Structure 1
Amino acid sequence: MKTGTRMFLSSAAFGAAIASIYWYVSHETVGTMLLALIGVALLFVAAYIFLTVRGDRRQVAADAADAQPQDAAGEIIGPLPAESVWPIMLAIGVVLALDGLVYGVWLAVLGFIFATFSGVALFRESR
């Protein structure tokens, strides 16, 4: 997983560089924060990959110097549900909760409950 970790680290560095350049050029706070959060999120993913595979010494097909796409064919990556309505329901719940910040607390509470129920159902389905 060295390749994946390096890819996310370089993307995080790019996000941080772009955020710095954007701040220097525009002095605009919100855009700078969003660009910086891109770098932070990518750094989080890189750290997660690094910490989860650091004790695993198995060779991953993508880490080979002469890796080809067909080398990884047949690797088991885990169970994935083929069809599910829960991601859409979770998105609707999040949108309702965020709309509640504008239109009223009652809508935010309804959206939070809907998103929580949908998230739990999604996680239970993926087991």
Structure 2
Amino acid sequence: MDQPLWDQVGQPLNRRHEPRMAVGSVLPVQLRFLPNGQPPGAWMTADILDISHGGMALLVPCLETTLVGEPLLLDVSQHPGFGAVRLPAVLRWSCPAGELGLLQLIGVQLDQPLPRVPPLVQSRK
């Protein structure tokens, strides 16, 4: 039987095997969903909230539909520390962020774990 993804108060359970590293004000990444058998979705901006060797928590504009397990592509070109421009990943969880329903938190798992967590380029906000 599958284990629940949410605790009793509706918060996502922490299932990461790697420690999360919270980030400050860093440049965003771009992402697009790659639904099976359909054209790729449009690129959207995502703010990195935390990162580990295996994935990231991101803040994105509210999505109409999200399917756990859906493949996606991250454009991390603003952060040369990744050593790559694009990283394939998969959506692992999603939940609303804020009361107005304009933002969403998502968790993505990278197809290939990072050998090290890269330094991220700080934003000039």
Q: TM-score range by the shorter chain?
A: under 0.3
TM-score by length of 2: 0.19
| Structure with max Cα Rg | 1
Does 1 or 2 have the higher relative contact order (CA < 8 Å, sep 6+)?
2
TM-score by length of 1: 0.18
| Larger helix proportion of the pair | 1
| Larger strand proportion of the pair | 2
